[in-house]
Each structure stands twice: as structure tokens, then as C-alpha cells.
Amino acid sequence: MSVVCQLSPGWLVDHLSFINKINYQVHQHHEPCCSKSEPTSSVYLDSLHMDSVSSFGSSATFTASDSTIKLENDDGGNCEMFIQKYVFRSELFDVTIPYITSAIHKECQQSNEKEDLMNGVKNEISISTVGKKRKRCVVFNQGEVDAMEYHTKIRELILDGSSQLIQEGFKSGFLHPLSEKRDKCREPITLPLDTCNLSELCEMAKHLPSLNEMELLTLQLMEDDVSVTEQDLFSRVVENNSSFTKTITVMGQKYLLPPKSSFLLSDISCMHPLLNCGKTYDVIVIDPPWQNKSVKRSKRYSYLSPLQIKQIPIPKLAAPDCLVITWVTNRQKHLRFVKEELYPSWSVELVAEWHWVKITNSGEFVFPLDSPHKKPYEGLVLGRVREKAALPLRKADVKVLPIPDHKLIVSVPCALHSHKPPLAEVLKDYVKPEGQYLELFARNLQPGWTSWGNEVLKFQHVDYFIVLESRS
């Protein structure tokens, strides 16, 4: 259970536990003992098949390894099975001290104390802060003024709610008090090299021959080992409908596919395979690549303009009464855009605003709560699709609870950039059981969810996992 505790303010969530409760258990045949016949190189799609021929050459062939158990080979003999169980690297959640400590933050305290004087201030605020050598005048622009006013509005909700959940975390043993002697000499975490740039592969895929949109829409990974062409991977929704984990190799890099998961690897210009499937979803979670100054300066991350985000075809993907959840940065410009422009353009009615609060393993905020630069929380804007309300709802007799105006999701964040906490368990009371779930701009996969994005397999790379056990 990834929910450590649930109180009226919200939930304390164990993200690592959620990942590791997924059955990341891979079964592989031991080749010398198995059938002498070669694995088929055909991809079976709704009882049809097609031969796979790589247009990038043999080095670019995508392969999927089966995770089901077969005790006999084609000759009737025994086939030895090799089993590997994977768990996510726990050090990626080992956040023992805040990213910015109170000592570093001390210089900003005088400025922060004056935030309470914001009432009546319209355009600019000049606050004298004490520097090491001289006084300097800090002039806040309108965006910064809006951010401080918003922070003042929600500060007590964040502080009081988090404190209650953190105390329960200590009682349960999930959180641990920090010893007086902080380990400042810990070795930095070594992250896997991005040797397979998935977003660049999506760009390459645009130059592949286009498939007939009326042909097979999904690629189902079957019981036997299969070879998958890059044309299939980028033009179809890939499904692992089995109860076991499968592995897929892309340009020599191996990724784990959870049971009952599906994905489409593409950018926003190639979403039609998702639309052509004809499925609609009861929950859609969106984590847009918001534009900001640091992203514009960096070449590592791409971003979308507000106009591009509005063009995401949510009305075509959403089922009646669909719950739409959008992650939003702390820029008030983005929050207003979602509430006042984005949701109305999708016929989504605003229903709630929640917050994700990031803490250390010892219950401290990862950034000082009143920091004028980085805040230890991010927002989620929740809405319901209302345009299709006249249509019959799925399982209309099933009652779900109304969504609260405000909730907190408190968790220890992952060291990986933009690896958001799971929402499945915290949403279960507010959505219909056995619904269809979709995540847009995803970077990982979840059982029971369809995931889309140009880096949708990123955090499924085997280097983010360790082999817990191997046996025959």
C-alpha cells in the first residue's frame, strides 16, 4: 500500500513502495534447454501478424522478452526457467536533508517576514534585505507579487496539513528523526546515462513511412519472444496485457513494461494512434512541459507554449464525467491559464485545487516553506468534463464521493527530475472502479494505465532498478 496514512488534510504517500509493489518479475527461458526452434519474428495483432523488418538495420531492432512461464519445449522436454525480480533503486528516494537548509536561507528571512505586508500592494514592492556588505533594494515584478500573495493564501493549509501527516509518518515508522550529526559527505547519486534519447527517436520516427490508419491499431506483446520494428513502436499503442513484466529493448537499451500497461511513444504531433484506438478515459492526468526561464535557457528539456497545450485533444479522449488532473508549477501565470483558459476550452469544469508537498525522510520541507525562490510544493488542478454529461455514464449506478476542494499529497520526492508521485490510490474514492486511465506527458508506466509521451519509457530503464533475486 503506497498510502502510509490518510487524514482529513490528505495523504502521506510512499512513492517507492508503490513502484516496488508492481510485479517487476521477469521470466526468461534458458536457451540451451528450450526448444531448438528460433523465436518467431512476427508481431501478433488481434489474431493477425506481420513480418518485422527493421529499416534502421539490425542494430535498431526492438525486441520484447516474454515474462510467462513455459515448462515444456516443443519437443515435450523440460525447459529451465530463469526468473529475475527487479526493485527500484531506493537511493533515488534517499532525501535525508533539505535541498536548501535553513542556514543558507537565513539571509532571506527578513524579506520573507515582510510578505504579510502585501495587502494593498498592486504593482511593485521594494524590500530592503540585509546583504553581507551593504543594503540592497529588491524590486519584485508583478508575477512575483502574485506568487507571494498566493503563498500567503495557502500557507497555513500547507503547514498545518503537512504537520499532521508528518506526525503520523513518525508514528508509523515511515519517517525517522534526523540525527544531530548530518551526513554532509554522502556520495552523490550516479544516474544512468541517457544513451537512448527517446525524444530524438520520436523525431526520427516522423521520417518513417506512414502506416494505413485503418490497419491494426495496437501492438500486443504476446507469449513468445517477438521482434518489433521501429515503425510498429512509434505508430501503434503497445500493450502488455499479461500478468507479468516484459522487457523491451530500444536501440540497445532495455526497459521494463509492467503488467497490464500500455503506452504510445511519440510527440504531440503524432498522437493519432492514441485517438484511432477509439478508447475514452475516465481519468486523464496531464503533466505539461511548462515554459519557464530556466527551461528556455537549458537545452535538456523541451517545452510547449500555452497554445500548443490547448491543442491537446482532451475532448476526444475524455469519457463522460472524466476527471482531468493537470500538474501546474508555482507560476501564477500557468495556474490562471489552466483555470481561466485551458479548462474552459476543453469544456472542463474546475472542481478543486490540491497540492503535492515534498519532504525529506526526516519530515522537513525540501525547501524552506517561505523561500521566495523555490517552494516545497506544486499544484494539481482538478476538473470534470461536463459537455458529455447528457450521455449515459459508465456504471451510472456506482456512487463516487465528491472531490474535496483542497487536499495534500505529502511524499518524499524522487531524485529523478519530474518523477511525480502516483495518484491511483488517492483517487480511488473519487472515480468509478475499473475505469480507464490515461497519463499524458508520462515518463513511466503503471499497471492499468495507458501512458503517452516522447519520453514515456524513461524511468522504466533497467538502470533505475536493481535485481533483488535471480533463480532458476
Res 431 pLDDT > 60: yes
Query: What backbone phi and psi angles, to 5 degrees, belong to 293?
Result: -65, -45
Give which of 268, 264, 267, 247 is closest to 451, Cα–Cα. Answer: 264
Q: What is the mean pLDDT of residues 77-88?
A: 77
Q: 315-373: per-residue pLDDT in tens? A: 999 999 999 999 999 999 999 999 999 999 999 999 999 999 999 999 999 999 999 88
Instruction: Decide if 44 contacts 52 (C-beta within 8 A).
Output: no
What whole-number distance in Å separates Cα of residue 228 and Cα of residue 53? 8
Cα–Cα dist 3/12, whole Å = 6
Task: Please give the torsion angle defined by the CA atoms of residues 222, 228, 234 and 238, in that order, rounded to the nearest 10 degrees.
Answer: 10
Q: How far apart are CA 248 and CA 234, in angstroms?
A: 14
Where does the pLDDT of residue 57 fall: very low under 50, low under 70, confident under 90, or very high at 90 and above? very low
* Confidence band of 104 (pLDDT split at 50, 70, 90): very low
What cell does 131 get? Answer: 546583504
* DSSP per-residue letters across 268-332: GGG-HHHHHT---EEEEEE------HHHHH-SS-----HHHHHTS-HHHHEEEEEEEEEEE-S-H
CA distance 12 to 7: 9
Spell out the residues 6+ positions from residue 106 whose beta carbon is closer than 8 angstroms to its own: none
Q: Of 150, 222, 177, which is closest to residue 378 (Cα–Cα)?
A: 150
Question: At residue 432, does pLDDT exceed 70?
Answer: yes
Report the first-to-last Cα separation within the chain, whole angstroms.
Answer: 29
For 237-288, how does the pLDDT look when each residue is reduced to its tens digit (9 = 90+)? 999 998 889 888 887 788 999 999 999 998 888 898 999 988 999 999 999 9
Given a cut of 90, whether residue 166 has pLDDT beyond it is yes
Residue 220 to residue 226: CA distance in whole angstroms = 10
pLDDT of residue 220: 76
| pLDDT score recorded for residue 76 | 56
Quote the percentage of the chain above a pLDDT of 90: 47
Band the pLDDT of 20: cuts 50, 70, 90.
very high
Per-residue confidence (pLDDT) for residue 402, from 0 to 100: 92
Does the pLDDT of residue 1 top 70, yes or no?
no
Cα separations in angstroms, 310 against 268, 337, 346, 347? 11, 10, 8, 12
Residues of the chain above pLDDT 70, percent: 65
Among 39-48, 94-103, 278-287, 324-333, the range scoring the smallest mean pLDDT is 39-48
Are 383 and 338 contacting, i.e. CB atoms less than 8 angstroms apart?
Answer: no
- In the predicted structure, residue 84 carries a pLDDT above the cut 80: yes
Residues in the chain: 472
For position 29, what pLDDT does the model report?
61
User: Which amino acid would we find at residue 441?
Assistant: F
Q: Does the structure show a pLDDT above 60 at 190?
A: yes
The pLDDT assigned to 192 comes to 63
What is the separation of C-alpha 97 from the centre of its chain, rounded to a whole number of angstroms?
Answer: 24
| Higher-scoring residue by pLDDT: 267, 158 | 158
Is residue 311 over pLDDT 50?
yes
Tens of pLDDT, residue by residue over 376-420, are: 999 999 999 986 544 555 555 567 889 999 999 999 999 998 899
SS3 call for 424: helix
Mean per-residue pLDDT over the chain, rounded: 77
Most confident of 100-104, 144-148, 341-345: 341-345
CA 276 – CA 214 distance, rounded (Å): 8
Question: Is 191's pLDDT higher than 50?
Answer: yes
Looking at residue 39, what is its pLDDT?
Answer: 37
Q: Is the dihedral of CA 58, 64, 65, 68 positive or negative?
A: negative
Candidate ranges 180-194, 283-297, 298-312, 444-458; pick with highest mean pLDDT: 444-458
Q: Which helix (H) or strand (E) holds 42?
A: strand 42-45
pLDDT band at 25 (very low <50, low <70, confident <90, very high): confident
Can you tell me the mean pLDDT for 219-229?
58
Residue 140: band (very low, low, confident or very high) from pLDDT cuts 50, 70, 90: confident
Please determine, for residue 200, whether its predicted confidence score (pLDDT) is greater than 90. Answer: no
